C-alpha cells in the first residue's frame, strides 16, 4: 500500500512511518471534510475547490451496489428494451388535474425499464435495510400508490440477497407478461389526499394480476399474500418469501391447508381493500405475522428470494 500523504510504501497501513510520526505530532490529520489524509497546514482540497461554488458534481450517478444490479437488469431485459438509472417520477408520470404543484412526483426511482419506443413498462427499486425505517417506508408507500394509480408495476430487489441474475430475469419476464396491470385509485382528481381504493385489490401484489390470467386462461392461477404484502409493503420481501414457501410446500399439500388457503384468499382481499391503508390494520397484523415468520424460519423455511 502507498502512503496516503507522501506516496511511499506503507505496507498495510494508510501512512508510512514518517507520516505516521507527523500524525502523532498533529501535523497530519484524517480530514473530516474531505475524508483524506493531509497536512494540517494545507487547506482541504475538496472544500477549497468547491467553497466558491454553490453546486458541485457527485462522484457517481449510482452506487457500486446499484451498478451491479444495473448490469444484471440490462442483461435480463428483452432485446431493444432500455434501462434508465435514477430517473424522476415526473419524467414518465403525468398528473391529470390542473394542480399548480406536482411535488409528489419529484422523487427518484432506481431504474426504469422501457420498450424500444421508450414507453415505460416496469420500475425496479433496490432496497437495503434502510427501507425498514419509518421515513423510508412512508416514501416507498407514496411511490407505490402513485405508480399503482398510473398503472406501472414495481419490482423490489433486496441488496442483502446479492445480485441473482436468474431471479431478476424471471421477475422481469413475469411482469412483462402481466402487462397491462389494473390501475388502482388512491387519489381523487383534485388533490393527492388518499382515498380508499375503489377498483380491484391493491396492486402492490403485482406478481398476480388477474389480467394476465384473462389473457392466458391456461396459465396456472397464482395468488398473492394480500394481508402480508399489505403489511410488509411488498410481495417480494424476506417475510413474504417465508410465508409463500410455507403456503406452497405445507398448506397446499393437505385438504385442510387448501381449505384455509381458499378461505384466506376469499376474505383477505376484502379486508385489504377496506382497511389496507389504515395504520391500526397494519399494526394489528405485523406483530402476529412477525411471530409466525420467526417460527417458520426456525423450522427451516428460508427468507431468500422465491418464485411461485
| Domain-embedded: residue 201 | no
Closest CA to 155 of 87, 201, 109: 109
3-state secondary structure of 39: strand
Judge whether 41 lies within some domain. yes
Total of domains in the chain: 3
Asked if residue 159 belongs to a domain, the reply is yes
Cα 266 to chain centroid distance, Å, stands at 28
Query: Are residues 233 and 293 both part of a single domain?
Result: yes
100 and 183, same domain (yes or no): yes
Residue 275 CA to residue 99 CA, distance in Å, equals 28
Looking up residue 163, the CATH number of its domain turns out to be: 3.40.1350
Q: Kindly state whether residues 70 and 176 are assigned to the same domain.
A: yes
Do 273 and 257 lie in one domain? The reply is yes
Q: Are residues 10 and 73 in the same domain?
A: no
pTM above 0.75, yes or no: no
Is 116 found in the same domain as 98?
yes
78 and 3 belong to one structural domain: no
Host H or E run for residue 252: none
Please give the pLDDT value at position 201: 35
Please check whether residues 38 and 71 belong to one and the same domain.
no
Could you tell me if 96 and 149 lie in one domain? yes
What is the model's pLDDT at position 118?
A: 95
Question: What is the Cα–Cα distance from 177 to 209, expressed in whole angstroms?
Answer: 10
Asked if residue 34 and residue 122 are part of one domain, the reply reads no
Q: Which residues of the chain are modeled with pLDDT < 70?
A: 45-51, 189-225
Q: Are residues 76 and 90 in contact, defined by beta-carbon separation less than 8 angstroms?
A: no
For residue 217, is it within any domain? no
- DSSP letters spanning 153-175: -EEEEEGGG---HHHHHHHHHHH
Which tens digit of pLDDT belongs to each residue from 147-198? Answer: 999 999 999 998 888 899 999 999 999 999 999 999 998 887 554 444 344 3
> 147 and 124 in one domain?
yes
Domain that residue 127 falls in: 64-191
DSSP 78: P
Amino acid at each position: 500500500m502507498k502512503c496516503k500523504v507522501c506516496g511511499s510504501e506503507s505496507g498495510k497501513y494508510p501512512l508510512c512511518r514518517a507520516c505516521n510520526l507527523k500524525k502523532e505530532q498533529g501535523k497530519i490529520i484524517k480530514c473530516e471534510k474531505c475524508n483524506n489524509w493531509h497536512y494540517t497546514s494545507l487547506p482541504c482540497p475538496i472544500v477549497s475547490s468547491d467553497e466558491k461554488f454553490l453546486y458541485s458534481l457527485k462522484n457517481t450517478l449510482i452506487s457500486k451496489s446499484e451498478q451491479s444490479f444495473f448490469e444484471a437488469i440490462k442483461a435480463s431485459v428483452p432485446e431493444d428494451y432500455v434501462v434508465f438509472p435514477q430517473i424522476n417520477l415526473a419524467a414518465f408520470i403525468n398528473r391529470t388535474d390542473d394542480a399548480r404543484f406536482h411535488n409528489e412526483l419529484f422523487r427518484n426511482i432506481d431504474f426504469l425499464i422501457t420498450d424500444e419506443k421508450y414507453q415505460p413498462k416496469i420500475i425496479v427499486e433496490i432496497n437495503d435495510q434502510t427501507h425498514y425505517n419509518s421515513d423510508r417506508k412512508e416514501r416507498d408507500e407514496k411511490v407505490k400508490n402513485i405508480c399503482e394509480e398510473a398503472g406501472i408495476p414495481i419490482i423490489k430487489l433486496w441488496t442483502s440477497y446479492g445480485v441473482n441474475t436468474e431471479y431478476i430475469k424471471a421477475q422481469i419476464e413475469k411482469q412483462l407478461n402481466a402487462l397491462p396491470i389494473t390501475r388502482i385509485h388512491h387519489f381523487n382528481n383534485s388533490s393527492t389526499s388518499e382515498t380508499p381504493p375503489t377498483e380491484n385489490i391493491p396492486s402492490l401484489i403485482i406478481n398476480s394480476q388477474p389480467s394476465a390470467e384473462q389473457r392466458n386462461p391456461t396459465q396456472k392461477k397464482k395468488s398473492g399474500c394480500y394481508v402480508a404484502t399489505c403489511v410488509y409493503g411488498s410481495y417480494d420481501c424476506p417475510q413474504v418469501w417465508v410465508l409463500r414457501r410455507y403456503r406452497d410446500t405445507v398448506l397446499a399439500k393437505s385438504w385442510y391447508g387448501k381449505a384455509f388457503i381458499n378461505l384466506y384468499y376469499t376474505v383477505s382481499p376484502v379486508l385489504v381493500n377496506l382497511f389496507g391503508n389504515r395504520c391500526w390494520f397494519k399494526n394489528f397484523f405485523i406483530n402476529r405475522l412477525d411471530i409466525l415468520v420467526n417460527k417458520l424460519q426456525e423450522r427451516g423455511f428460508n427468507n431468500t428470494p422465491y418464485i411461485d
